[in-house]
Amino acid sequence: MSWFALSGSIEQGLAYGVLALGVYLTFRVLQFADLTVDGSFPLGAAVAATLIVSGTSPIVAILVAFFAGMLAGAVTGLMHTKMRIAGLLASILTMTALYSVNLRIMGRPNVPLLRQPTLFTNLSDWGFNHPLQALIVFGVLVVVVKLGIDWFLSTEIGLAMRATGDNPAMIRSLGVDTDGMIVLGLAFSNGLVALAGAMMAQYQGYADVGMGLGTIITGLASVILGHALIRPSTVFRATLGAVIGAVLYRLAIYFALGAGFAPTDLRIVTAAIVVLALAGPALKERFSSRKGPTDQELDALTQASPSGTVSGSAATAGKEGM
Amino acid sequence: MLVLEKVTKTFPVGGGSVKVAVNRVDLTIEKGQFVTVIGSNGAGKSTLLNLIAGRYLPDRGRIVLDGVDITRWSEHRRARFIGRVFQDPLQGTAASMTIEENLSMAERRGQRRTLARGVTRSGRSRYRELLAPLGLGLESRLQSEVGLLSGGQRQSLSLIMATMTRPSLLLLDEHTAALDPKTAKQVLDLTTRIVGEYGLTTLMVTHNLEHALRIGDRTIMMHEGGVVLDLSGPERTRMTVQDLLQEFTRVRGADLLDDRLLLT
């Protein structure tokens, strides 16, 4: 365990922060479990690496990767909204298809970027050559993306997107095309994930067709971990939580490796963390000693709303909804 | 003015057969008219409102609002002209968002949404002015999450959101049925005040026969997907709840006893 390895974990954590922000947009804002990211992360890496190898500037390569990711997200969104395929399944279909797409783009399973110009070598050439270069680059990027999302989600379109996840019937009754919002949100989210993939490829020096496996779990673990520590009561706190969650998740892995876990065991550890976090509320209820309101509480409740008739009729009226 | 011409909607019920929920309804509602809609469960009241709002498209017939044929328009496109409050207070607002965010979304009803800031300073002062007359103290809680509000507060907010842009048509689908009697009365008073002040063309479904006769200026009764009674003017003024119950008996037959109308 060296400072070098530790700072590497923080660098990766910040890069994965961009990924976590993308996952936050779908999972928390749109309430959509989007597995497309397992394909769009390596898509971003594949596009960026292939373009760089063919002589494109790394910055242009990153931008193209972002748009490729947006396209992938839009495909999932259109399948879900226009073809009425369940969201989870639509995203699995895109993810599966992207595996072939990524191989096509790269022409082989792995594209090394050794001795190729990357964003990092470019910056060195331009005189920004600091031991903390990668840390600063990823840090600035993730802060810019975080503040950008905070801003976007406070705009008129952003509010409509949040309402689409919260209460689609309500926002439709206010004139918003919720299908369009879902497609836009998925596109934006996967653009960010592909951006993270493009950055990771340059950071680690290669793109690999298998590098996307478990991306969604990494993203979910980051968001859930972050939101367990920072209550996401506002968008600002929610995005902050996602980024901090991503860094802490990387650090947790770093220490898990230090504690003797084999790298191959990491995925099951991560999966277990996500299961526990998601099952939290259910487990709490099950093992809680309180099984319901006390007599006193029931008395108080029934006094507060004296008319059983009215609420009873409301309950039957709900069934009419045809 | 809202005009329905032979509007029909059926739903498949399995085994290849269909249920006729709304059956060739012809209805004209003049501008500024406040119509109450009654009828037992399954009479087609909610379906009728959903057809007008665009949640369902009719199998047959035409829907014309202020001279524009909106029959095939999507729900979100019609929303520009139609405000709506649902029965469930949870349905009309976004719980995880603040009061001011909800109001700002409603203020942009049917308009193109841009990347401009959603909640503005001038918006806040407009929202305070809208909320203050409710006497619920919401004007000083603009940044509270709507999920923290009570059912009555949420329904009052829904009503403000449905009416703040003065839509051509206001649809109220039993919007007080899920509230306790005291709160229901407050929300109903607010409804008549806003509708009167803005002169909104309104269609209100209710299960309360007294409300149906006392509020608004026209009452229609639905049964088996059709309009079976249409009261307005002196005829409506003379009508009592007892008379209405008798009308119900006449159209419904013997199964009235188990109907919850008797409870109200």
* pLDDT score for B256: 47
Inform me whether the C-beta atom of residue A176 falls under 8 Å from chain B C-beta atoms: yes
Residue B130 domain-assigned?
no
Has residue A306 got a pLDDT over 50? no
| A102, containing H or E segment | helix A87-106
Residue B249 domain-assigned?
yes
Give the 3-state secondary structure of residue A155: strand
Tokens of A61: 């390569």
Residue B133 domain-assigned?
no
Give the 3-state secondary structure of residue B160: helix
What total of structural domains would you count in chain B? 1
Of B124, B132, B133, B134, nearest to B155 by C-alpha is: B134
- A127-153 as b/e, with b when 16 or more CB fall inside 10 Å? eeeeeeebbebbbebbeebbeebbebb
Q: How confident is the model at residue A291 (pLDDT cuts 50, 70, 90)?
A: low
Digit-coded pLDDT (tens) for A71-126: 999 999 999 999 999 999 999 999 999 999 999 999 999 999 988 899 988 888 88
Task: Give the mean pLDDT of chain B.
Answer: 91
CA dihedral of residues A256, A259, A264, A267 (deg, nearest 10): -30
Residue B72 domain-assigned?
yes
Digit-coded pLDDT (tens) for A182-215: 999 999 999 999 999 999 999 999 999 999 988 9
Q: How confident is the model at residue A301 (pLDDT cuts 50, 70, 90)?
A: low
Are A49 and A73 contacting, i.e. CB atoms less than 8 angstroms apart?
no
Hey, are the CB atoms on B180 and A319 less than 8 Å from each other? no
As a whole number of angstroms, the distance between CA B179 and CA A83 comes to: 38
Digit-coded pLDDT (tens) for A261-288: 888 888 888 888 788 877 877 787 777 7
- What does chain B come to in residues? 264
Residue B190 sits in which domain range? 2-95+150-263
As a whole number of angstroms, the distance between CA A33 and CA A41 comes to: 16
Residue B141 domain-assigned?
no
CA distances from A56 to A127, A133, A134, B36 (A): 21, 22, 21, 68
Tokens of B30: 């003049």
Distance, in angstroms, between A237 CA and closest chain B CA? 14
Laid out side by side, the sheet with B68-69 consists of: B18-29, B2-12, B60-65, B68-69
Give the 3-state secondary structure of residue B94: coil
Has residue B38 got a pLDDT over 60? yes
Q: How confident is the model at residue B203 (pLDDT cuts 50, 70, 90)?
A: very high
Beta strands in B48-112 (DSSP E): 60-65, 68-69, 82-85
Closest Cβ opposite residue B260 in set A162, A178, A316? A316
Query: Strand pairing partners for B8?
Result: B60
Has residue B111 got a pLDDT over 50? yes
Distance, in angstroms, between A158 CA and closest chain B CA? 8
Using alpha carbons only, how large is chain B's radius of gyration in Å?
Answer: 19
Helix axes A215-229, A3-24, angle to 10 degrees: 90
Residue given tokens 């006729």 in the structure block:
B20
Residue B40 domain-assigned?
yes
- Judging contacts by C-beta atoms under 8 Å, the chain B residues touching residue A161 are none
Of A226, A211, A201, A180, nearest to A81 by C-alpha is: A180
* pLDDT score for B40: 84
**Which CATH number is B91's domain given?**
3.40.50.300
Q: How confident is the model at residue A1 (pLDDT cuts 50, 70, 90)?
A: low
* pLDDT score for A290: 61
Q: How confident is the model at residue A10 (pLDDT cuts 50, 70, 90)?
A: very high
Distance, in angstroms, between B23 CA and closest chain A CA? 14
Q: Where are the domains of chain A?
A: 9-211
Q: How confident is the model at residue B143 (pLDDT cuts 50, 70, 90)?
A: very high
A188, A302, A320: best to mutate for the B interface, most B CBs within 10 A: A320
A31, A150, A159: best to mutate for the B interface, most B CBs within 10 A: A159
Has residue B76 got a pLDDT over 80? yes
Distance, in angstroms, between B234 CA and closest chain A CA? 31
| B173, containing H or E segment | strand B169-173
As a whole number of angstroms, the distance between CA A252 and CA A254 comes to: 5
As a whole number of angstroms, the distance between CA B160 and CA B33 comes to: 19
- List all residues 6 or more positions away from B55 whose beta carbon is below 8 Å from its beta carbon: B75
Hey, are the CB atoms on B75 and A173 less than 8 Å from each other? yes
- Judging contacts by C-beta atoms under 8 Å, the chain A residues touching residue B52 are none
ipTM of the predicted structure? 0.88
- List all residues 6 or more positions away from B69 whose beta carbon is below 8 Å from its beta carbon: B62, B63
Sign of CA dihedral B27, B32, B33, B36: positive
Digit-coded pLDDT (tens) for A134-181: 899 999 999 999 999 999 999 999 999 999 999 999 999 999 999 999
